[in-house]
Amino acid sequence: MLGKVPADSITDAVLRNRFQSVTLSLLAITAVTSGCVSMAPESAVPELVAGIPAAFSQSGADGAYQPARWWTSFEDPVLNNLLDEALSKNLDLAEATARLRAAEARARVSKSGLFPQVNAGLESRYSDSPTAGTNFGSIPGAGAGRLRNETYSSSLAFSYELDIWGKLRNDARAGRADAIAASADLQAVRLAVLAETITSYFDLVDGRHQIALTAKTIDILGDRVEQTENRYRRGLTTSFELYQVRQDFRNVQASLPQRESQLTATEGQLAVLVGRYSNDMDALLGKKLTPKLIFKPVPSGLPIDLLSQRPDVFAESQRLESARYNLGARRAERFPSLTLSANTGSQAGDPSGAFNIFDNWLLNLGAGLTAPIFQGGRIKGNIDVAKAQYEQQTAVYGRTLLTAYQEVGTAIERYEEGRQRYSFLFSQLDEAKASVELQSRRFANGVGSYVDYLDALRAQYQMQSSLSSAARDVALARLGVHRALGGSWDDVPRAPDIMTDPPAIQGDK
């Protein structure tokens, strides 16, 4: 015969069964309802994007795409060191990196709504009130006519909103897309810093070259003025010619301080890009700068998919996704929300009893359904705002892609024109050198004048100056292609060093 079962045990068993039943029911509802519905519009490619050509049409040789460290093709250790410094110390990059961290933190915040919220609590209460006006009389030991009470409790609270309509999921996805866009923005800043550093560096190289050529030209024109003055005193030239030679000499002299000032400004700009003060740049730059140029044509038939490597295009595509998910989240606000809650803990009249969960436990379970009835147009206004932002971002993405495509075409065309101009000037430099050699021999043989030799030498320096500027333009045009595509390609031929200090010329004084 079975013994008598205590009533407390029966009550505990009933409560445990009821708790398990409710828990299983809540888990079942969560599994069935979560992840079923999304109010976000279907992802669709904008019409302008869908109609973009499959490849770029510029002609040239074939090549393989390579987005990493394309600047090493200039084969200049000074430039490589400058870019390493810029990537590690540039303050624009530091700012963009901080923005990325903030965006990633916001993405984690937006994702937190997908998980249950758990809070723990400890509470202590003490009350002391008169018994007058109540049904309580005097309590022995509590003093006449007063009621004192103290309670201690510990609790663990759970709450969870069932994401039936996809509001929380869409908010989380929008936050994640914004974080990815911020990462692409960081890459865009990185590319801009690289491009500005390379631009300043080639301006610096050309500036030093131009100053060296200007100084040589001033020496030549000084000799030219002296020769013209001698000829004028002997009546072999007119005063007008002497005036022109002197004026030319003064103009070139006046251009030297201007070039030196521009060079100082360029060095200062480069120092800012690498996160240094201008007086600390000598260790990075050194005395001799020898970048090499690249003259191979841009590969033909480059796939249009390369545009997706551009950080700005990728960032706008992610912002478009964020706007799409945000619209879905705002649409979901029109529908009821179901929240589940549970609170368990213990309560006692002394601190130690607050943690006696076996004898003093308590349990509260709840489910709340909240449906919007009247919001004064707030929900519809938020939906209209999100829809307009989605349409706006669609236009922004299409414009960004169209602009990127146009920039690639323009950059390739500018590079081709720069290559042709450089080739033309290079051939003229050969003619200028030949003229200097001819005038040097004529003067040595007594059949030519020293003035003709000086004029030929000056023409050569002028051609070298034009060629230096053309070399800089070729390098920056090539940089424009790199920046437009976000990278480069393999098998790039190496050109001779043409941006070093001016070479020594026969007869140079």
Give the pTM.
Answer: 0.74
Q: What is the mean pLDDT of residues 351-372?
A: 79
Neighbouring-strand partners of residue 152: 124, 348
pLDDT at residue 262 in the model: 92
Distance separating alpha carbons of residues 267 and 37, to the nearest angstrom: 59
* pLDDT band at residue 187 using 50, 70 and 90 as cut-offs: confident
Residue 416 has pLDDT above 80, yes or no: yes
End-to-end CA distance of the chain: 129
Q: What is the DSSP letter of 72?
A: G
Q: Per-residue pLDDT for 26 more than 50? A: no
For 104-126, how does the pLDDT look when each residue is reduced to its tens digit (9 = 90+)? 999 999 998 888 899 988 888 88
Instruction: Quickly state the pLDDT bin for 34 (edges 50, 70, 90).
Output: very low
Chain centre to alpha carbon of residue 363: 52
The yes-or-no verdict on residue 388 having pLDDT over 90 is: yes
Between 309 and 5, the more confident residue is: 309
Please tell me the predicted confidence (pLDDT) of residue 245.
85
Q: Which residues of 395-430 are buried (b: 16+ CB within 10 A; e: fewer)?
A: eebbebbeebbebbeebbebbbebbebbeebeeeee
SS3 content of the chain, % helix, strand, coil (to 5): 60, 10, 25
Q: Can you give the pLDDT at residue 151?
A: 85
Q: Where are the domains of the chain?
A: 1-33
Please state, in angstroms and rounded to a whole number, the distance separating the CA atoms of residues 126 and 97. 52
CA distances from 244 to 116, 221, 241, 247, 509 (A): 88, 11, 5, 5, 23
What is the rounded distance in angstroms from the CA atom of residue 306 to the CA atom of residue 64?
11
Residue, of 172 and 3, whose pLDDT is higher? 172
Per-residue pLDDT at 132 exceeds 70: no
pLDDT digits over 425-446, tens only? 888 888 898 888 888 888 777 7
Percent of the chain at pLDDT above 90? 22
Cβ atoms of residues 160 and 117 within 8 Å: yes
Which pLDDT does position 265 carry in this prediction? 92
pLDDT at 271: 92
What b-and-e string marks burial along 90-111, b requiring 16 or more CB atoms within 10 Å of the CB? Answer: bebbeebeeebeebbeebeebb
Quick: pLDDT tens for 236-263: 878 888 888 898 889 989 989 999 999 9
